[in-house]
Amino acid sequence: MKTFLAFVKKEFFHILRDRRTLLILFGMPIAQILIFGFALNNEINNAGLVVLNRAGDYESKQLLAKFQNSTYFNLQDPVFTEAAIEQAFKDNRAKVALIIPLDFGKNMQAGNEQLRIIGDATDPNQAQTLVNYAKAIIADYLQQKQNTNTQLPITTAQPRMLFNPELKAVYQFVPGVMGLILLLVSAMMTSLTIAKEKELGTMELLLISPLKPFHIILGKVAPYWVLSFLNAVIIIILGVFVFGMPVNGSVPLLLLVTLIFSFASLALGIFISSKANSQLVAMFLSMFGLLLPTLLLSGFIFPIENMPLPLRIISNIVPARWFIELIKGIMIKGSPLSLLIKPFLVLCFITVVLTIAGIKGIKTRLS
Amino acid sequence: MEVVISTDKLTKKFGDFVATNEITFEVAKGEIFGFLGANGAGKTTAMRMLCGLLKPSYGSASVAGFDIEKQTEQVKQNIGYMSQKFSLYEDLTVKENFRFYGGVYKLKRQVIDQRLNEMLGNLGMLNVENSLVASLPLGWKQKLAFSLAMLHRPKIVFLDEPTGGVDPITRRQFWDLIYEAAHNGVTIFVTTHYMDEAEYCDRVSIMVDGVIKALDTPENLRKQFETDSMDGVFQLLARGTSTK
């Protein structure tokens, strides 16, 4: 125990005296969450909208006022020909166009209004989103009208987005960034510090000392475990207080899952360091071996459901995938463990496998 | 004469390659034992086996009276080690380094501090106690690394090319430290490339291709091979040619 404490103390000296390490440990997570939070936002606000209003009647103006009031659209100067719409798309004044037919108000009374929405599909996702926003605004308006007129009882489907009614992107990226950062910080930092000892030759001395390899690994891992856990807490706090992320589920469960995932990441780091003899190699391995799969295959950026089958299969062994699923379930849906048992067990299983692989990797190097 | 290291047909094979081939020798307490050989002759492998880092393929050895295979822990408690690559952490102060290694060997803090003081006093380096190792000159670091290897008062110290990259004057001073330790009854097991250092050893073994080709005092070796320097002996054995 005393040797262990001496070791941990030494590790903390290393961490605290190296400004770069500190920056990566604490600067990176905060910067990432803020960047993802403010910049990489897939909600679209103030998109340009041009209107070709052939009707120009009271109803059409009411509808446009509704568009004007939404934060999604920014009404541009009206156009008078369809050619002008294309021109507006080309010079980027607008992303969406709305054509209101001649007899808009009259037709609406009759229940067969013919509006046309045109999206600039240069960016297909964005166009889809904007068209949907526009549709929603129109539907909302029509419904209002029908209620006030109370003419025909019309059946309409009322969509309701459960757990995230405002479709906030934060809900998607806070768990994603958490997974990414924990993995990077834990795996990269541990593999780097072990590779560093090898590079400097201090590893030899540790191995010759009465310390057992297991102690060395534990001593290396413990400080980073504490730090990455601290990191996770910072990210959660930022998510909650800066971006309004809810924590609907059990906080202890959330922390437990975080602890397990950081342990899996640390084990990955140890496994990497058993293969890498220099800091450079360790850095590359953790960057390309971990960063890309986590970013692309964890469901953080691209939905797993949309992936071709081989990628979907591979995504099963990406620990971040299960972690993100768990975090989303706990924070957003408030699900209890009993409903999250599958991702939980898979994550535990991956963690155990990685730990065994890590310890084996170190041992084979020593014999 | 008390024997502290003895090997019996100690052998290590890596696949088909025989790194050390049935080496048998003994080292006495307080002896400075030079372990020479060209790169790849099997020095490091032999040393790693004696330190408990590698398991022998067959044959046996005991260090400080303990079997290297069955009593690795006791062996580790009784040996110190220093290599050409530094064993000190550059981003820790001298004192922190000593406290860390002392902690690893389960020494009490007062004991560590007292021994550190004593050692720094002997080296005339009391004022560096709280300096970062990175800020010290190479020669100082090397002396500190040696002191560190002696911190837990081991019976045997293994030095793996300890003076690589150091100027002759510092090397000389370093050897004074070695003599002093040997005088106090510590056994020194040293590998080196410098043939003048071989002359400082009590006995020297020369390994060629995994086999000990010669083992005697430098004086006897020079007589036996009819040359006037250890360098000559080494050239004759390792390369099969004479420089004369």
Question: What are the tens digits of pLDDT across the range A33-50?
Answer: 788 777 666 667 788 899
* Least confident range of A81-85, A231-235, A252-256, A288-292: A288-292
**A244 located within any domain:** yes
Interface touch B53/A207, C-beta < 8 Å: yes
Q: What is the mean pLDDT of residues A238-250?
A: 85
Per-residue pLDDT band for B182 (boundaries 50, 70, 90) equals very high
Say how far residue B7 (Cα) sits from the centre of its chain: 16
Per-residue pLDDT band for A258 (boundaries 50, 70, 90) equals very high
Task: Give how many domains chain A has, as a whole number.
Answer: 2
**A34 located within any domain:** yes
Instruction: Check pLDDT > 90 for residue B173.
Output: no
Instruction: Check pLDDT > 60 for residue A153.
Output: no
Beta bridge partners of B7: B61
Interface touch B83/A7, C-beta < 8 Å: no
Q: Are residues A127 and A176 in the same domain?
A: no
**A286 located within any domain:** yes
Q: Are residues A27 and A120 in the same domain?
A: no
Q: What is the mean pLDDT of residues A345-359?
A: 89
User: Which residue in chain A is spatially nearest to B92 when comparing CA positions?
Assistant: A13
Q: Are residues A178 and A271 in the same domain?
A: yes
Q: What is the mean pLDDT of residues B60-78?
A: 91
Interface probe, candidates B87, B144, B159, chain A, greatest A C-beta count within 10 A: B87
**C-alpha distance from B99 to closest chain A C-alpha (Å):** 8
Say how far residue A311 (Cα) sits from the centre of its chain: 19
Interface touch A7/B77, C-beta < 8 Å: no
Torsions phi, psi of B158, nearest 5? -100, 125
Q: pTM for the complete prediction?
A: 0.75
- Interatomic CA distance for residues A238 and A330, integer angstroms: 17
**A163 located within any domain:** no
**C-alpha distance from A170 to closest chain B C-alpha (Å):** 40
In total, chain A counts a number of residues equal to 367
Q: What is the mean pLDDT of residues B42-70?
A: 89
Q: What is the mean pLDDT of residues A336-359?
A: 89
Q: Are residues A122 and A201 in the same domain?
A: no
Write out A142-160 in H/E/C secondary structure: HHHHHHHHCCCCCCCCCCC
Q: What is the mean pLDDT of residues A338-355?
A: 91
Domain that holds residue A110: 47-149
The pLDDT of residue A150 is: 55
What CATH fold (topology level) applies to the domain B1-42+59-71+155-244? Rossmann fold (3.40.50)
| Spatial CB neighbours of A59, under 8 Å, sequence gap ≥ 6 | A104, A105, A108, A145
**A161 located within any domain:** no
Residue A90: exposed, middle, or buried by beta-carbon count in 10 A (0-12, 13-18, 19+)? Answer: exposed
Instruction: Check pLDDT > 70 for residue B228.
Output: yes
Instruction: Check pLDDT > 70 for residue A282.
Output: yes
User: Which ranges of chain A does DSSP label H, i.e. alpha helix?
Assistant: 2-17, 19-22, 28-38, 58-69, 82-90, 104-110, 124-149, 170-183, 189-200, 202-208, 213-243, 251-275, 279-286, 292-297, 309-315, 319-328, 341-366
Nearest by CB to residue B81, choosing from A2, A18, A208, is A208
Nearest by CB to residue A3, choosing from B88, B91, B104, is B104
Interface probe, candidates B13, B84, B104, chain A, greatest A C-beta count within 10 A: B104
Domain boundary among A95, A120, A149: A149
The pLDDT > 90 percentage for chain A reads 8
Residues A154-170: pLDDT tens digits? Answer: 556 666 777 776 666 67
Q: Do B35 and B24 meet the contact criterion of CB atoms below 8 Å apart?
A: no
Q: Are residues A123 and A177 in the same domain?
A: no
Interface touch B100/A367, C-beta < 8 Å: no
What dihedral angle (degrees, nearest 10) is formed by the CA atoms of A366, B3, B9, B11?
10
Q: CA-based Rg of chain A, rounded to a whole angstrom?
A: 27
The pLDDT of residue B243 is: 45
The pLDDT of residue A365 is: 53
The pLDDT of residue A127 is: 85
- Interatomic CA distance for residues A201 and A262, integer angstroms: 28
Q: Are residues A140 and A223 in the same domain?
A: no
Residues B85-139: pLDDT tens digits? Answer: 767 898 999 999 999 999 999 899 999 999 999 999 988 888 998 999 989 988 8
Residues B27-40: pLDDT tens digits? Answer: 999 999 999 888 88
Per-residue pLDDT band for A367 (boundaries 50, 70, 90) equals very low
How far apart, in Å, do the first and last CA atoms of chain B sit?
37
Q: Are residues A353 and A299 in the same domain?
A: yes
**Taking an 8 Å Cβ-Cβ cutoff, which residues of chain A contact chain B?**
2-3, 5-7, 9-10, 13-14, 17-18, 200-202, 204-211, 366-367
Interface touch A3/B81, C-beta < 8 Å: no
Q: What is the mean pLDDT of residues A339-359?
A: 89
**C-alpha distance from B161 to closest chain A C-alpha (Å):** 13
Mean pLDDT over each residue of chain B, to the nearest integer: 88
The pLDDT of residue A210 is: 86
**A301 located within any domain:** yes
Q: Are residues A265 and A345 in the same domain?
A: yes
Q: Are residues A225 and A142 in the same domain?
A: no
Q: Are residues A254 and A172 in the same domain?
A: yes
| ipTM above threshold 0.90 | no
Q: Are residues A302 and A196 in the same domain?
A: yes
**A159 located within any domain:** no
The pLDDT of residue A220 is: 86
Domain CATH number, residue A98 = 3.40.1710.10
Q: Are residues A57 and A206 in the same domain?
A: no
Q: Do A209 and A7 meet the contact criterion of CB atoms below 8 Å apart?
A: no
Instruction: Check pLDDT > 50 for residue A70.
Output: yes
